[in-house]
Amino acid sequence: MTKVTMTVNGASVSGEAAGNTLLVEFLREELRLTGTHVGCDTSQCGACSVHVDGKLVKSCTMFAAEADGTDVITIEGEAAEDGTLSTVQQAFQDHHGLQCGFCTPGMVMAATALLKENPKPSEAEVRHYLEGNICRCTGYHNIVKSIMAASGQNVEPMAAE
């Protein structure tokens, strides 16, 4: 066990982690930030996506010790202090971009990272960027729509009918 210190959602936190403790385990078990989910054991689903030093990272692919000294943002850190949803979060609600909600934290973290890199992505770019995030509920239609809407683009033509 070693002591690991990092900034999570703006607050400095520290805890004990074994050498093989994954960042996602540290977040969920040690810090009780259970918004970050685990959907697979082969780094394929993206349910565990967080931002580490501003980069999109699958937190099941990183040891907690590797994140020592970094700045981590999880889904719990996306809304404003007063609870106001971020633009991406709000767009997901407005356009029904989630059903069971299990993939959602990862989707929101991925979408937020995408829009930082590419503020006006095309539909194809959105779909391509989500290659590492699986959703079983939505058929992706409304996820894509939510992200396009969050980027300020007109999604009227993507209305379902």
Partner 1 sequence: MPKDNGIGASLKRREDVRFLTGTGNYTDDISVHRQLYVHFLRSDVANGTINGIDTAAASAMSGVVRIFTGADFEGVGSIPCGWQVTDRHGEVMKEPAHPVLAQGKVRHVGDPIAAVVANSLEEARNAAEAIDLDIHELPAAVDMRKALEEGAPLVHDELGDNLCYDWGFVEENREAVDEAIKNAAHVTTLELVNNRLVANPMEPRVAVGDFNRATGDSTLYTTSQNPHVIRLLMGAFVLGIPEHKLRVVAPDVGGGFGTKIFHYAEEAFCTFAAKALNRPVKWTASRSEAFMSDAHGRDHVTKIELALDADNNFVALRTATLANMGAYLSTFAPSVPTWLHGTLMAGNYKTPLIYVNVKAVFTNTVPVDAYRGAGRPEATYQLERVVDKAARELGVDPVALRRQNFITEFPYATPVAVEYDTGDYNATMDTLETMIDRDGFAARRAASEAKGKLRGLGINCYIEACGIAPSNLVGQLGARAGLYESATVRVNATGGLVVMTGSHSHGQGHETVFPQVIAEMIGLDESMVEIVHGDTANSPMGMGTYGSRSLAVGGSAMVRATEKIINKTKKIAAHLMEAAEADIELKDGQFSVAGTDKSVAWGDVCLAAYVPHNYPLEDIEPGLEETAFYDPSNFTYPAGAYSCEVEVDPETGKVTIESFAAADDFGNVVNPMIVEGQVHGGLGQGIGQALLENCAYDENGQLLSASYMDYAMPRASDLPLFKVDHSNGTPCTHNPLGVKGCGEAGAIGSPPAVVNAVVDALQSAGKNVLHIDMPLTPARVWDAMNG
Residue number, 13 or 38, with CB nearest to partner 1: 38
Q: Are 19 and 65 in contact (CB under 8 A)?
A: yes
How big is the site for partner 1, counted in residues (CB under 8 A)? 59
- Measured from the CB atom, the residue of 59 and 70 that comes closer to ligand FES is 59
Q: Is 128 one of the binding residues for partner 1 (CB under 8 A)?
A: yes
Question: Residue 127 CB, nearest distance to partner 1 (Å)?
Answer: 4
Q: Counting contacts by CB under 6 A, is residue 52 touching ligand FES? A: no
Cβ(38)–Cβ(60) below 8 Å: yes
Contacts of partner 1 in 85-104 (CB under 8 A): 85, 89, 92-94, 96, 98-104
C-beta of 74: minimal distance to partner 1 in Å? 7
- Find the part of the chain contacting partner 1 (CB under 8 A) among 51-59, 61-69, 77-85, 113-121: 77-85
Residue among 13, 38, 52, 65 that touches partner 1 (CB under 8 A): 38
CB of 84 closer than 8 Å to CB of 43: no
**Which one of 40, 117, 139, 141 is in contact with ligand FES (CB under 6 A)?**
40
DSSP string, 44-98: -S-TTEEEETTEEEETTSSBTGGGTT-EEE-GGGSS-TT-PPPHHHHHHHHTT--
Q: Which tokens go with 126? A: 């959105």
Please count the helices (runs of H) and the strands (runs of E) in the chain: 5, 5
Candidate residues 70, 74, 89, 104; the one interacting with ligand FES per rule CB under 6 A? 104
Confirm or reject binding of residue 75 to partner 1 (CB under 8 A).
Answer: yes
Q: Smaller CB distance to partner 1: residue 7 or 9?
A: 9
CA–CA dist 102, 77 (Å, integer): 17
For the record, the structure tokens of 1 come out as: 């066990």
